[in-house]
Amino acid sequence: MAKGITKRSENYSEWYNEIIKRADLAENSAVRGCMVIKPYGFAIWEKMQRALDDMFKATGHQNAYFPLFVPKSFLEKEEEHAEGFAKECAVVTHYRLKSDPDGKGLMVDPDAKLEEELIVRPTSEAVIWNTFKGWIQSWRDLPLLINQWANVVRWEMRTRLFLRTSEFLWQEGHTAHATEQEAIEETEQMLGVYAEFAESWMAMPVIQGLKTASERFAGAVETYCIEALMQDGKALQAGTSHFLGQNFAKSFDVKFVNKENELDYPWATSWGVSTRLMGALIMAHSDDNGLVLPPKLAPIQVVVVPIFREEADLAKIMEHIAPIVEELKTLGISVKVDDDDKYKPGFKFAEYELKGVPVRLGVGMRDLENGTIEVARRDELTKETLPLEGVAKHISSLLDEIQENIYNKAMNFREENTFTVDNWEDFKAQIEMGGFVMAYWDGTAETEEKIKQETKATIRCIPLNSIEMAGECVYSGKESAKRVVFAKAY
């Protein structure tokens, strides 16, 4: 590229920021730690939302919306939950400003102090379970399967675009069930939905597993997660699904009468994914030419770049490609024809590569003479000249092929960067080099903590569906039932 971006291999985080900037996805705002998601970035997020929302609906969930503010007394009710989130809460203490008598501008009106502080939601368990109290009386009211699309605020020390911002957009599911078994099934079902979304929409392979006690969601009995490996060898938690037991029901005094006419507390789950998935998408596939989008999430799947000098030539080219564009649209493919004459073709080629558009079609006067079209694919940066006849069908299957190809690439990368390690020296060396490190762990929080202190590696998850085979803990040498996934993480 003439105006190359920072190489991925040289400075990963600079590369990451530059992809976001040059693909026009988002920017830091003037507001501390907050992010502006720009139209192109938001278009991708909307496609993610749509796909996820359809999956939630297909599994029987309904959308609703709950308040932004959580009275402090609500947040306090579940003790562990309160403790876990206390350190990162934005708090509303006043409801009015007034002119500053000592100078220009405004000041907080001390007379407008709230009797009870309001917390800007860091998550909505508290408000939602307070609401559920009024919704649940009988086993007939269960299961209650609710999802909300919302913003939340967590006052993070250091922020990074998409990966960690003070305010972020997400989806949070909150469900209530009559039995423990059903709630656990729901937790696992939604983890499966996330894994399916990550793999078949984002083309990003994930490991499904359980968090250790120390990494568990505050107030949960069990936290399930999906973990993905980024191209710099660091892990990213891409989604979580929590089995909350009866903790919130008890804290918020939500009870129902079961079929045996006995009072019981319902069992709860909550699960969420956020705009962090955008960060995952960027880091999983992009290269030194910019963003690489899986076709299923690309706002523009095919871009047509006419190559012309004269207005008259453009008109001829448009006529030449019109049937193809029509056919692509009929096939449900989103096509953009960039007939802008302010930029030259070479500029446009680079621009659409930066934006990750999966397929680019180039058409010039040469093609008109030959009845051809140039088809370039973003994932492999290859191009070929094909007869115009039948090209729409070819493109349609090419998009599927690209979707599959980038998944396979990410999968190969993960496999090449997943290591099985059996002694402490190898463990430290491998963690330093990056990747998922599969090692035995004795199951204690002490060992987990010491490993974290000495290597900065955390247990990303205890994988589900792995073969149980006993071994010796890589750190303590004590007995261990199975290998867990260690990595440095975002």
Partner RNA sequence: CGGGGCGUAGCGCAGCCUGGUAGCGCGCACCGUUCGGGACGGUGAGGUCGGAGGUUCAAAUCCUCUCGCCCCGACCA
Q: Is 344 in the site for RNA (CB under 7 A)?
A: yes
Using CB under 7 A, which of 7, 98, 113, 366 touches RNA?
Answer: 366
Of 4 and 387, nearer to RNA (C-beta) is: 4
Q: What is the DSSP letter of 143?
A: S
Q: Is 22 in the site for RNA (CB under 7 A)?
A: yes
User: CB–CB of 171/244 below 8 Å?
Assistant: no
- Segment near RNA (CB under 7 A), from 71-79, 301-309, 435-443, 473-481? 301-309
Q: Is 157 in the site for RNA (CB under 7 A)?
A: yes
Using CB under 7 A, which of 44, 190, 195, 354 touches RNA?
Answer: 354
Using CB under 7 A, which of 7, 87, 96, 113 touches RNA?
Answer: 87
- Segment near RNA (CB under 7 A), from 89-97, 253-261, 338-346, 387-395? 338-346
Is the backbone of residue 419 left (phi > 0), alpha (psi -120 to 50) or beta? Answer: beta
Of 72 and 383, nearer to RNA (C-beta) is: 383
Site residues for RNA, 427-486, by CB under 7 A, read 456
Q: Is 209 in the site for RNA (CB under 7 A)?
A: no
Q: Is 164 in the site for RNA (CB under 7 A)?
A: yes
Q: Closest by alpha carbon to 398, among 382, 409, 412, 411?
A: 382
* Least distance to RNA, CB of residue 431, Å: 14
**Within 13 A of 1's CA, how many CA atoms are on the CB side?**
18
Q: Is 417 in the site for RNA (CB under 7 A)?
A: no
Q: Is 263 in the site for RNA (CB under 7 A)?
A: no
Of 428 and 482, nearer to RNA (C-beta) is: 428
Residue 374 CA, chain-centre distance (Å), reads: 34
Q: Is 270 in the site for RNA (CB under 7 A)?
A: no
Q: Is 265 in the site for RNA (CB under 7 A)?
A: no
Residues in contact with 408: Cβ distance below 8 Å, sequence separation at least 6, in sequence order = none
Q: Closest by alpha carbon to 238, among 205, 287, 215?
A: 205
Residues in contact with 326: Cβ distance below 8 Å, sequence separation at least 6, in sequence order = none
Using CB under 7 A, which of 250, 383, 394, 428 touches RNA?
Answer: 383
Q: Is 301 in the site for RNA (CB under 7 A)?
A: no
Q: Is 374 in the site for RNA (CB under 7 A)?
A: yes
The CA distance from 182 to 258, in Å, is 14
Q: Is 409 in the site for RNA (CB under 7 A)?
A: no
Please, what's the b/e burial string for 187-201 (b: 16 or more CB within 10 A of its CB; e: otherwise)? bbebbbbbbebbbeb
- Segment near RNA (CB under 7 A), from 166-174, 241-249, 260-268, 421-429? 166-174
Q: Is 154 in the site for RNA (CB under 7 A)?
A: yes
Of 299 and 364, nearer to RNA (C-beta) is: 364
Dihedral of alpha carbons 216, 232, 198, 67, sign: positive
Q: What is the DSSP letter of 290?
A: B
Q: Is 376 in the site for RNA (CB under 7 A)?
A: yes
Residue 140: count of CB within 10 angstroms of its CB:
10
User: Using CB atoms within 10 A of its CB, is residue 487 exposed (0-12), middle (13-18) or buried (19+)?
Assistant: buried
* Least distance to RNA, CB of residue 405, Å: 17
**End-to-end Cα distance, the chain:** 29
* Least distance to RNA, CB of residue 376, Å: 5
Residue-by-residue DSSP string for 185-242 = HHHHHHHHHHHHIIIIIS----EEEE--GGGS-TT-SEEEEEEEE-TTS-EEEEEEEE
Q: Which long-range contacts (CB under 8 A, 24 or more apart) does 342-348 make?
A: 345/305, 345/307, 348/303, 348/305
Q: Is 81 in the site for RNA (CB under 7 A)?
A: no
Q: Is 318 in the site for RNA (CB under 7 A)?
A: no
Binding residue count for RNA, defined by CB under 7 A: 62
Q: Is 57 in the site for RNA (CB under 7 A)?
A: no
Of 261 and 453, nearer to RNA (C-beta) is: 453
Q: Is 350 in the site for RNA (CB under 7 A)?
A: yes
The CA distance from 382 to 387, in Å, is 17
Q: Is 367 in the site for RNA (CB under 7 A)?
A: yes
Alpha helices in 8-149 (DSSP H): 12-22, 39-58, 72-76, 79-86, 125-135
Using CB under 7 A, which of 56, 129, 243, 308 touches RNA?
Answer: 308
**Within 13 A of 146's CA, how many CA atoms are on the CB side?**
21
3-state class (DSSP) for residue 350: helix
Q: Is 2 in the site for RNA (CB under 7 A)?
A: yes
Q: Is 107 in the site for RNA (CB under 7 A)?
A: no
Beta bridge partners of 77: none
Of 200 and 289, nearer to RNA (C-beta) is: 289
Q: Is 104 in the site for RNA (CB under 7 A)?
A: no
The CA distance from 244 to 224, in Å, is 11
Using CB under 7 A, which of 67, 192, 345, 471 touches RNA?
Answer: 345
Residue ranges that bind RNA, judged by CB under 7 A: 1-5, 13, 22, 28, 32, 84, 87-88, 154, 156-160, 163-166, 168, 170, 215, 217, 237-240, 272, 274-276, 289, 307-309, 344-347, 349-351, 353-354, 360, 362-368, 374, 376, 381, 383, 385, 456, 490
